[in-house]
Chain A
């Protein structure tokens, strides 16, 4: 089975621009979560989608948004980019919701975003 795929792998943007990152979960997985990883703040949860609905949201400003499509693929968008948004953005997929016996989250390789 193919793993979680994220595109693009690397991205360079300038301040004020917006960016869209894409995640394709493992086939059959319906839950997709997004995380931001930085050297200073570590791994921080952004949001989770299940069946096209946002189930949880982390403590990030409204510039960060996401969505999930009917095929479980997900996108996240960051508008009005700031220098501090430079990070590795990770997507993780799970078969279902936690507590349903499908706990394991599988992470993709991430998208490295650099904001200049």
Chain B
């Protein structure tokens, strides 16, 4: 059972565009939602994270929007650059479940010059 559903699986945008990656979850016990970026041959690196009491969080060109009632959250990358081409994963963590993360399936982003 996939507890965190991520879409789309792949995405191509032009430089300067704003790719949007969406995630949805079912379990209301999730209380922490990070996004990770992974380049080939590397481990995932934390980009930005949000908790359910906040509807939006921005760090540099990355913004998370969170809709608690719909149980959905999304990542927006402003002014995307070719260097942003990577695989992006959303994740969720339950309260009282240690550091265990449940990941979405990933989105392969390509930003064309």
Contacts and interface: CB of A to CB of B under 8 A. Distances in A.
A94 B46 contact: no
A105 B45 CA distance: 9
Interface residues of B, number: 25
Q: Lowest 3 CB-CB distances: which A-B pairs, in order?
A: A107-B43, A43-B103, A55-B98
Contacts of B113: none
Interface of B: 32, 34, 36, 41-46, 49, 89, 91, 93, 95-106
Contact of B99 (A58, A90, A94): A94
Contacts of B93: 98
Nearest to B2: A42
A42 B46 CA distance: 17
A43 B98 contact: no
A107 B87 CA distance: 15
Interface residues of A, number: 27
Nearest to B94: A98
B100 A42 contact: no
Contacts of B91: 43
A31 B102 CA distance: 17
